[in-house]
Amino acid sequence: MQAQDFIPQSKLETIDTGKVTWQSPSNIALVKYWGKKENQIPANPSISFTLNNCKTITSLEFTSTKDSEKKSDLFNFEFYFEGQKKEDFKPKIYTFFERIVEFCPYLKEYHFTINSENTFPHSSGIASSASGMSALALCIMSLEKQLSPSISEDYFYKKASFLARLGSGSACRSVQGKIVVWGEHEGIEGSSNLFGVAYPNEVHEVFENYQDTILLVDKGEKKVSSSVGHNLMHDHPFAEERFKQAHKNLAALKEIFKSGNLNEFIEIVESEALTLHAMMMSSNPYFILMKPNTLEIINKIWAFREATGLPVCFTLDAGANVHVLYPEKNKTEIFQFIEDKLLGYCEKNQFISDSIGLGSKKL
Ligand code: PMV
């Protein structure tokens, strides 16, 4: 498919007013997306586990402005976060609308009220852009479905992921599926740079309901945003090798998902997390998003794994928080270890218990 395939072709119905609500989860990448080309095309393919508990719930109320004095050439919307009107969130949404209007020309014909809330604390340092942008994209697609009832389910979800990607790259991996691939990869049929696809190959039962305990090491605002970080991959001295490595790691993960070899899984996942941060540390200008307690936790995980042989590992996204990943069958012993040895490194001992989820849901 090409981007142009997402421009509506048929004549749209007339709908005056309505309301739709979606919930959409966050996701945690195993092979990381870091670096992009124009129009949010990823520099390398990535793959993630969809989360179950960290979600955004967004409702979109729409009223046609066709015959009203509100009709204008600008986007017309109010944004509320957890019940409060938020002017400071509006520019991000405005930019999102500007990027997608070519594919959703009806956006200028409505006044929207957007209400959004997260199931996790906003100031937890957990990025809400993946869940937030995918929830909003899904709401927009529900409006499009009313305007164009003949669109297929497949088109609906592909376009929702396509739109979410234009809001925040990793958001395209939050729409549908437990494990999602985004970015063309020679070994994964149907993979695309334009949208995320549910991982189509065999997955060993050890990954069923895989656990992710998110340790909230630092709940503050990040010093360097992901978009600045992605940009620093242009002219990065190690960029080309990194992009090749991501292809190789994804090919290796394909075998691991089939075999269920957790030692190999751990090696790829931890190496990906550290490589992501190594890219940040070797950018120009360089920066560090890990905190001392991030490293304390990593060392404790390594020591515990060495001592017990239990298959626990970590991954990181663009921040200091640590995602601790492990199979459901080892939950009791590993969670005990987390409680005894790791929570002390978290801000106010805070953490989020999560596990693999199915993706978004219409409410
Ligand atoms: O979606 P963005 O632009 O916020 O980038 C997210 C990048 C990482 O979380 C670091 C990696 C990933 O693949 O999710």
Tokens of 247: 């292809």
Q: How far is the CA of 225 from the centre of ligand 1 (A)?
A: 10
Q: Is 170 in the pocket of ligand 1 (CB under 6 A)?
A: yes
Q: Is 60 in the pocket of ligand 1 (CB under 6 A)?
A: no
Contact 204, 197 (CB under 8 A): no
3-state secondary structure 19-73: EEEEEEEEEEEEECCCCEEHHHEECCCEEEEEEEEEEEEEEEEEEECCCCCCCCC
Residue 127 has pLDDT above 90, yes or no: no
Mutate which of 170, 175, 276, 280 for ligand 1? The one with the most ligand atoms within 8 Å of its CB, which is 170
- How confident is residue 70, by pLDDT bands cut at 50, 70 and 90? low
Q: How far is the CA of 78 from the centre of ligand 1 (A)?
A: 27
- The pairing of beta strand 211-215 with beta strand 196-198: unpaired
Q: Is 289 in the pocket of ligand 1 (CB under 6 A)?
A: no
Mutate which of 34, 40, 50, 275 for ligand 1? The one with the most ligand atoms within 8 Å of its CB, which is 34
Q: Is 334 in the pocket of ligand 1 (CB under 6 A)?
A: no
Residue 67 has pLDDT above 90, yes or no: no
- How confident is residue 120, by pLDDT bands cut at 50, 70 and 90? confident
In the chain, CATH 3.30.230.10 covers 13-202
Q: At residue 271, what are phi and psi to the nearest 5 degrees?
A: -65, -40
Ligand 1 nearest-atom number relative to CA 31: 13
| Average pLDDT, integer, range 189-197 | 98
CB within 8 A of 329, min separation 6: which ones?
206
Length of the chain: 363
Residue 126 has pLDDT above 80, yes or no: no
| 317-339 pLDDT, tens digit each | 999 999 999 999 999 999 999 99
| Average pLDDT, integer, range 28-52 | 97
Q: Is 50 in the pocket of ligand 1 (CB under 6 A)?
A: no
CB within 8 A of 339, min separation 6: which ones?
none
Q: Is 144 in the pocket of ligand 1 (CB under 6 A)?
A: no
Ligand 1 atom 4 nearest Cα = 226
- The confidence score (pLDDT) of residue 158 equals 98
Domain 13-202 has CATH 3.30.230.10: yes
Contact 311, 266 (CB under 8 A): yes
- How confident is residue 68, by pLDDT bands cut at 50, 70 and 90? confident
Q: How far is CA 316 from CA 217, 246, 298, in A?
A: 11, 16, 10
In the chain, CATH 3.30.70.890 covers 208-355
Residue 37 has pLDDT above 80, yes or no: yes
| 92-108 pLDDT, tens digit each | 999 999 999 999 999 99
**CA 121, 142, 32: angle at the middle one, nearest 5?**
50
Asked which of 61-75, 215-229, 236-250 is least confident by mean pLDDT, the reply is 61-75
Contact 50, 178 (CB under 8 A): yes
Q: Is 29 in the pocket of ligand 1 (CB under 6 A)?
A: yes
Mutate which of 99, 179, 233, 317 for ligand 1? The one with the most ligand atoms within 8 Å of its CB, which is 317
Residue 23 has pLDDT above 70, yes or no: yes
Please choose, from the candidates 86, 47, 362, 296, the residue with its C-alpha nearest in 3D space to the C-alpha of residue 191.
47
Residue 257 has pLDDT above 90, yes or no: yes
The three-class DSSP label of residue 359 is strand
Contact 172, 182 (CB under 8 A): yes
- The confidence score (pLDDT) of residue 223 equals 82
Q: 208-355 maps to which CATH number?
A: 3.30.70.890
Contact 182, 166 (CB under 8 A): no
| 345-362 pLDDT, tens digit each | 999 999 999 999 999 999
- The confidence score (pLDDT) of residue 222 equals 76
Q: How far is the CA of 226 from the centre of ligand 1 (A)?
A: 7
| 295-320 pLDDT, tens digit each | 999 999 999 999 999 999 999 999 99
Q: Is 33 in the pocket of ligand 1 (CB under 6 A)?
A: yes
Residue 124 has pLDDT above 70, yes or no: no
| Average pLDDT, integer, range 142-154 | 97
Ligand 1 nearest-atom number relative to CA 129: 4
Give the integer Cα–Cα distance in Å for 95 and 329: 44
